């Protein structure tokens, strides 16, 4: 977004090409209702095609802005994504507007209005079901959208960036199997999230491949936060035939499991192996340091920003869905099965 985009189209150019007057294009742009459907469509097509964006008079450069939307800002997760996006945005002279919509419809509407007023160049949505009407509205505004860590199977026309959750679930479980564990508990994430399901499937696939029994009582869902890890971890450890290892679908839940283990007078690693997912900064500093599956959150943010910026310039994206590699980081919370 430097000097290279000085040559952007004006509504005058669009009007000419569409064979309509300037005011008509202006009306389409502002979502006024008094435009014939055919005209509207033709103009919108051209606006989209040229990647039109409103400009001020003469050399008045518009603000270059990019919207980064979370459901909530209460996870240590969020700041990693922000870092990645900000990094790329900053370098490109694009500001990163961070919002939390709390899955609340009035909040979402408010946000959409704000977004429109600030004429954002692109939107990055993190782990969210952006409801279809919002999508439609964004399309009308001609704002490119990229989804990070898609909540559900993303629409094919919206680029998405995720991590290889299935492979991560597989790797973590194989690691525990390799240490001799056979009864491996799984603290899943919320079942409606795609990433949760992929991690769970990876866990199952590893067990199956190893010919280990799949005991459904060993699988229970949490909500990614500490408390649920503690609750589910406790439930698993209180089973008649408790697991010797527990794989949690988030680091925070893994720390909750730590607590559950300790509360029972057991030791992490020595008595119960624990593996997490995310590799938050604190994983390295937990005691014992947590074995976990690393998600490249900063890189995901970076890629999302680059993608949405390129989209904004009218460039084509090669792959609409990208998954960045996860990586198993072995530390001290996992050990050979006690005999």
| Site of interaction with its own copies (CB under 8 A) | 54, 56-57, 60-65, 67, 73-76, 78-79, 82-83, 86-87, 90-91, 93-100, 107, 110-111, 113-115, 117-119, 226, 252, 255-256, 258-259, 262, 281-282, 284-285, 287
Q: Which does 3 bind (CB under 5 to 8 A by kind): DNA, its own copies, none?
A: none
CB 301 within 8 A of CB 257: no
Which residues, including other chains, have CB under 8 Å from residue 50's CB and lie 6 or more apart? 8, 9, 13, 14, 314
The listed partner (DNA, its own copies, none) that binds 17, CB under 5 to 8 Å by sort, is: none
Quote the CA–CA distance of 301 and 208 in Å, as a whole number: 34
Helix, strand or coil, per DSSP, at residue 236: helix
- Distance of closest approach, residue 37 Cβ to its own copies, in angstroms: 25
Burial class for 141, CB neighbours closer than 10 Å (0-12, 13-18, 19+): middle
Output the smallest distance, CB 76 to its own copies, in A.
5
| Nearest approach, Cβ of residue 3 and DNA (Å) | 13
Residue number with CB closer to DNA (24 or 108): 24
- Per the CB < 8 A criterion, the answer to whether 137 and 145 are in contact is no
Q: How far apart are CA 146 and CA 158, in angstroms?
A: 6
Task: Work out what residue 163 binds among DNA, its own copies, none; the CB cut-off runs from 5 to 8 Å by kind.
Answer: none
Helices (H) and strands (E) in the chain, counts: 11, 12
Nearer to its own copies, 86 or 174 (CB): 86
Nearer to DNA, 10 or 234 (CB): 10
The minimum distance between CB 114 and its own copies, in angstroms, equals 5
Q: Which two tokens stand for residue 282?
A: 């604190």
Give the residue ranges of DSSP H helices in 179-225.
194-210
Q: Which partner from the list DNA, its own copies, none does 293 bind, CB cut-off 5 to 8 Å by kind?
A: none
**Which CB sits closer to its own copies, 87 or 201?**
87
**Positions that interact with DNA (CB under 7 A):** 10-12, 19-24, 26-27, 29-30, 33-40, 54-60
Residue that the structure tokens 């090669």 belong to: 318
Q: What backbone phi and psi angles, to 5 degrees, belong to 160?
A: -135, 150
Cβ proximity to its own copies, 49 vs 54, nearer residue: 54
- For CA atoms 26, 30, 34, 35, the dihedral sign is positive
Q: Which of helix, strand or coil describes residue 249? A: coil
We find the least distance from the C-beta atom of residue 127 to its own copies, in angstroms, to be: 15
Cβ–Cβ under 8 Å, residues 85 and 65: no
Residue closer to DNA by CB (options 39, 220) is 39
Q: Which does 282 bind (CB under 5 to 8 A by kind): its own copies, DNA, none?
A: its own copies
User: Binding partner of residue 76 among DNA, its own copies, none, CB under 5 to 8 Å per kind?
Assistant: its own copies
Which option in DNA, its own copies, none does residue 20 bind, with CB closer than 5 to 8 A by kind? Answer: DNA
């Amino acid at each position: 977004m430097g000097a290279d985009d000085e040559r952007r189209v004006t509504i005058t150019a669009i009007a000419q090409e569409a064979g309509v007057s300037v005011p008509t294009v202006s009306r389409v742009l502002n979502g006024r209702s008094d435009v014939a459907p055919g005209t509207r469509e033709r103009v919108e097509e051209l606006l989209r095609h040229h990647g039109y964006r409103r400009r001020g008079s003469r050399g008045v450069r518009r603000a270059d802005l990019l919207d980064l939307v979370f459901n909530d800002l209460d996870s240590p997760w969020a700041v990693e994504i922000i870092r990645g996006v900000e990094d790329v945005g900053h370098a490109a002279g694009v500001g990163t507007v961070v919002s939390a919509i709390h899955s609340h419809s009035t909040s979402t509407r408010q946000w959409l209005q704000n977004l429109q007023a600030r004429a954002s160049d692109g939107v990055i949505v993190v782990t969210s079901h952006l409801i279809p009407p919002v999508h439609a509205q964004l399309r009308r505004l001609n704002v490119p959208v990229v989804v990070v860590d898609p909540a559900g199977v993303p629409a094919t026309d919206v680029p998405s960036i995720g991590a290889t959750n299935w492979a991560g679930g597989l790797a973590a479980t194989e690691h525990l199997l390799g240490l001799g564990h056979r009864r491996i508990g799984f603290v899943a994430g919320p079942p409606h999230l795609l990433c949760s399901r992929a991690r769970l499937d990876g866990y199952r696939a590893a067990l199956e491949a190893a010919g280990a029994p799949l005991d459904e009582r060993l699988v229970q869902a949490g909500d990614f936060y500490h408390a649920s890890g503690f609750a589910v971890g406790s439930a698993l450890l209180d089973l008649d035939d408790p697991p010797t290892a527990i794989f949690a679908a988030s680091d925070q839940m893994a720390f909750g499991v730590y607590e559950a283990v300790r509360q029972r007078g057991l030791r992490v690693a020595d008595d119960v192996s624990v593996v997490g997912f995310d590799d938050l900064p604190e994983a390295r500093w937990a005691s014992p340091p947590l074995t976990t599956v690393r998600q490249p959150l900063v890189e995901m943010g970076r890629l999302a920003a680059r993608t949405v910026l390129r989209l904004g310039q009218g460039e084509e994206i090669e792959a609409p869905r990208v998954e960045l590699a996860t990586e198993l980081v072995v530390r001290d919370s996992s050990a050979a099965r006690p005999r």
